[in-house]
């Protein structure tokens, strides 16, 4: 066992405990896959990361560091909130990027660029592969979500490293009222991201009386919410029933919804509402068509972990 520098940060929030927590082991050198997975299962956070020196290939490509990302149940090739959270922890630990105002992260999908936008950092969304989903495959997922087909506007398979089934539905009310069968989603092996555009009327309309108590409790609403999209992420296949705030999902949703004309090339998303969180993700597309995903990060715990 070795004492290793450790931080726990809260991502996609400027207020501690309202975002998505991340455990960061700042020196993962010498740890086996099994040791990393065991620690990630022990933290029971949606993701735990381990920082390593870049591979020779990564260093040649300009990588500042390499990161491995684990959920409690599996390793991920890429994830958004661990990307921003690890960058924050790495910088707070006193490290200096090769180029001021930018970072290059090496991970399972290859090299991921980050840039500083004021006090906030953003990562370049990895290339997205997307495809239609058949009615035959979609039906069981709708059933597991308790979602009626009439409430669905569009659905796509989205893959930017992690695979998500993205769904755009008719209203924020529909998103907040969902009570999925997580065991069914786990059996299907499907991670699902559900989103809806926020309308001016979303502050008080009631969609279904039998869901009113859950979806419209005062604690689940943010007065005068400035965000444009409400998002929920269900990831039972990797051990997370509902993820508080998900960078990879928001990245792929943005690439899809912007390309389809459903969202503008700059918007913000809210996630974590039903978990008592208030995560905020900032999405934009530059003149070259590259999507960027930004968010605030707050440090919560720093010290040593014995691994």
What pLDDT is stored for residue 207 in this prediction? 38
pLDDT at 61: 97
pTM of the model: 0.90
Asked whether the CA dihedral 240, 243, 244, 245 is positive or negative, the reply is positive
Q: Is 86 exposed, middle or buried (0-12, 13-18, 19+ CB in 10 A)?
A: buried
Q: Is the dihedral of CA 97, 23, 10, 241 positive or negative?
A: positive
Q: Please report the pLDDT score of residue 118 as a whole number.
A: 84
Question: In sequence order, which residues have a C-beta less than 8 Å from that of residue 289 and are 6 or more positions away?
Answer: none
Tell me the C-alpha distance between 249 and 269, whole Å. Answer: 11
CB neighbourhood size of 10 (10 A): 27
What domains can you pick out in the chain, each with its CATH number? 3-125+295-306 (3.10.310.10), 129-287 (3.10.310.10)
Q: Annotate 164-191 with b (16+ C-beta within 10 A) or e (fewer).
A: bbbbbbebbbbbbbbebebebbbebebb
Distance separating alpha carbons of residues 235 and 125, to the nearest angstrom: 20
Residues pairing with 286 in the sheet:
none
At 190-246, the pLDDT tens digits run 999 999 999 876 544 333 333 433 343 334 556 678 999 999 999 999 888 999 999
* Cα distances (angstroms) measured from residue 238 to each of 25, 77, 135, 232, 306: 20, 13, 24, 16, 25
Residues in the chain: 307
Per-residue confidence in pLDDT tens, the chain, 307 aa: 999 999 999 999 999 999 999 999 999 999 999 999 999 999 999 899 999 999 999 999 999 999 999 999 899 999 999 999 999 999 999 999 999 999 999 999 999 999 998 889 999 999 999 999 999 999 999 999 999 999 999 999 999 989 999 999 999 999 999 999 999 999 999 999 999 999 876 544 333 333 433 343 334 556 678 999 999 999 999 888 999 999 999 999 999 999 999 999 999 999 999 999 999 999 999 999 999 999 999 999 999 999 9
Q: What pLDDT is attached to residue 211?
A: 41
In angstroms, the CA 238 to CA 185 distance is 11
Position 223 scores a pLDDT of 60
- Picking from 230, 283, 231, the residue whose alpha carbon sits closest to that of residue 117 is 283
**Four-point Cα dihedral 141, 144, 149, 150, nearest 10:** -140
Stretch (H or E) spanning 155: strand 152-159
Cβ atoms of residues 45 and 244 within 8 Å: no
CA distance from start to end of the chain? 5
- Which among 295, 268, 170, 274 has a CA at the least distance from the CA of 222? 274
Cα(126)–Cα(130) distance, integer angstroms: 12
Residue 169 DSSP SS3: strand
């Amino acid at each position: 066992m070795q004492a290793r520098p450790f931080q726990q940060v809260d991502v996609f929030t400027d207020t501690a405990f309202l975002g998505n927590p991340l455990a960061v082991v700042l020196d993962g050198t010498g740890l086996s896959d099994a040791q990393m997975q065991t620690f990630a299962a022990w933290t029971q956070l949606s993701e735990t990361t381990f920082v390593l020196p870049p591979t020779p290939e990564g260093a040649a490509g300009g990588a500042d560091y390499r990161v491995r990302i684990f959920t409690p149940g599996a390793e991920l090739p890429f994830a958004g909130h661990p990307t921003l959270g690890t960058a924050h922890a790495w910088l707070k630990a006193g490290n200096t990027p090769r180029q001021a105002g930018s970072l290059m992260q090496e991970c399972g999908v290859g090299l991921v660029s980050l840039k500083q936008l004021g006090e906030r950092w953003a990562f370049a969304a990895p290339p997205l592969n997307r495809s239609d989903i058949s009615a035959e495959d979609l039906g069981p997922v709708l059933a597991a979500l308790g979602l009626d087909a009439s409430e669905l506007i569009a659905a796509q398979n989205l893959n930017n490293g992690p695979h998500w089934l993205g769904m755009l539905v008719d209203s924020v009310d529909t998103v907040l009222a969902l009570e999925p069968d997580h065991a069914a989603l786990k059996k299907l092996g499907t991670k699902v991201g559900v989103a809806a555009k926020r309308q001016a009327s979303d502050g008080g309309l009631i969609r279904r009386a039998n869901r009113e108590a859950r979806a419209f409790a005062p604690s689940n609403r943010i007065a005068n919410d400035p965000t444009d999209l409400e998002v929920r992420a269900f990831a039972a296949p990797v051990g997370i029933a509902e993820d508080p705030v998900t960078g990879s999902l928001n990245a792929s949703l943005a690439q899809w919804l912007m390309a389809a004309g459903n969202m503008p090339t700059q918007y913000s998303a809210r996630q974590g509402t039903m978990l008592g969180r208030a995560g905020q993700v900032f999405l934009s597309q530059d003149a070259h068509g590259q999507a960027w995903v930004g968010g605030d990060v707050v440090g919560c715990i720093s010290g040593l972990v014995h691994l």
